[in-house]
Amino acid sequence: MEIIILTYIFLIGLIMGSFYNVVGLRLPKKISFTSSRSQCPNCSTPLNARDLIPLFSYLLSKGKCRHCQTTISISYPLVELLTGGLFLFSYWMYGWTPAFLGACLLSSLAVMVTVSDLNYMLIPNKLLIFFAIIFIIYRSITPLDPWYASVIGALAAYALVACIIIVSKGGMGAGDMKLLAVLGILLGTKHIFLTFFFATLLGTVISLLLIMLKVIGRKDPFPFGPSIMIAALLVYFFGEEIIRYYLQSFY
């Protein structure tokens, strides 16, 4: 039975992932993601049902448009696989519990923020407002201990990044500030600070690597959203273990 549940969760992840791809790519450009149909970016042939099966369409067509043979970006199946993988991992961690739902919501936000930030260097406000509401509802049903950790977490994250933006004159963006505030609702005070710590660490390491590999220039803007989301997932899944390990090692 377990294998059926796991397959089902993975398939749901693939389908949601292909939807998150569309949201991440269209929301910043203000294109509706429900009315207009997807089309090949090169020959504009509308995609039919056969082209829209997550992952499998890509594998069947060997990554090429069926009409003009243009190579389709590997990012589409990768984003679908990533979502499926994150949903599976969430289930493996928590089983059928409210924490599983929270992990899937956080994974969903992570995928959309990453697609949008890597493609356009921005995190859409509509996405953040939507997830702020979702997280408030989620934390009303399964509150943190104490419940107001959600409120303080959101406000503290917002204030902290606001100070950094003023001091560093643009080291982080307004989108990053709003994203961390939204994550503070879900993660609470202690875990949002841990997220911030890992995000800056990760962002610094990745940007230095990209500069060394000459992918980006020293002065180029760097999308910070994916680092924040990786840190948030890490803290959601392992925050308590990390804090316990830290306290044991240093005190």
What is the C-alpha to C-alpha distance for residues 79 and 108, in angstroms, rounded to an integer?
Answer: 11
Q: How far is the CB of 76 from Zn ion (least distance, A)?
A: 14
The answer to whether residue 60 forms part of the interface with Zn ion (CB under 5 A) is: no
Q: How far is the CB of 114 from Zn ion (least distance, A)?
A: 25
Mutual orientation of helices 98-120 and 174-212 as an angle, nearest 10°?
70
CA 153 to chain centre: 19
Binding residues for Zn ion restricted to 136-155, rule: CB under 5 A: none
Binding residues for Zn ion restricted to 64-93, rule: CB under 5 A: 65, 67-68, 70
**Residues in binding contact with Zn ion, number by CB under 5 A:** 7
What is the C-alpha to C-alpha distance for residues 224 and 161, in angstroms, rounded to an integer?
Answer: 12
- The interface mask with Zn ion, positions 40-59, x = CB under 5 A, is x-xx----------------
Candidates 185, 198, 180, 189; CA nearest to 235 is 198
Q: Are 70 and 40 in contact (CB under 8 A)?
A: yes
Binding residues for Zn ion restricted to 87-126, rule: CB under 5 A: none
Neighbours of 222 (CB within 10 A): 15
Q: Cβ closer to Zn ion: 65 or 231?
A: 65
Q: How far is the CB of 38 from Zn ion (least distance, A)?
A: 11
Residues that bind Zn ion (CB under 5 A): 40, 42-43, 65, 67-68, 70
